[in-house]
Structure 1
């Protein structure tokens, strides 16, 4: 599976960071790239269950490919979400289903810094993405 160009940029940027402090700074900068969600979008229907922090996720399908938008009230988590979206946006459903998320964060050099709660939160986001995909397949929407 080939990486989207933005995911390749992320790998290169994080690969140049010698230590965790630089990665944490870069992570927060990536988080600032997330497009803000409107107040209406930050609703209970879009909230990801299973995250300690508040996380909202919206998915839209364009043909066979998916675009996700997300936000969180936690700065580090926003960065992790930005990196997750960098990896998944534009993928087809079959590619999303095969994505190895822990491997992606390992490649970025961030896996060891993911606390169990952050790791569980990202897993919850991935589960929510899958639920959105499944619902779209069945012609069901949350609204």
Structure 2
């Protein structure tokens, strides 16, 4: 069910054997994202439960889910980029059907993130799912 963009990340991770290289790759992806406009960094878009500051701005157009996001932590910006590749462009039903834990498990992230980062990642996924569910 993963998008072509997410499959590309999976392939990149298979090629990068060292976890430092994988982290660097995730961070680089975050650096490539366009920063979220400061006007969108408001309490309504802030994700609670993250150790760093995180904002997700979802947009649903034509029945398709998209979001932009930002964080003050480079690794978290990278995780937002990974989640964007997993969810952006899906229908609302597809968003709700994604098994994020299994998909992210393919990257080995579950085993290599700190407890705080894992909690933050879960909070971001929950916000995405809540937004899609509310729009259906």
TM-score for the superposition, normalised by structure 2 = 0.92
Structure 1 106/67 Cα, relative in aligned 2: closer, same or farther at 3 Å?
same
Tell me which residue corresponds to 1:51. 50
**Residues matched between the structures, number:** 136
CA-to-aligned-CA distance 1:66-85 (integer Å, 9 cap, x gap):
01111111111111111111
Tell me which residue corresponds to 2:129. 130
Within 5 A, what are the aligned runs for 1:99-114? 99-114=98-113
Structure 1 portions without partners, runs of 5+: 138-143
Tell which deviates more after alignment, 99-108 or 83-92. Answer: 99-108
SS in 2 for 1:44: coil
Within 5 A, what are the aligned runs for 1:26-37? 26-37=25-36
Tell me which residue corresponds to 2:92. 93
Structure 2 portions without partners, runs of 5+: none
**Higher helix fraction: Structure 1 or Structure 2?**
2
Q: Is the 8 A contact 2:16 2:22 kept in 1?
A: yes
Q: Is the 8 A contact 1:15 1:109 kept in 2?
A: no
Alpha-carbon RMSD: 1.3
Larger Rg: 1
Cα shift at 1:111? 2.1
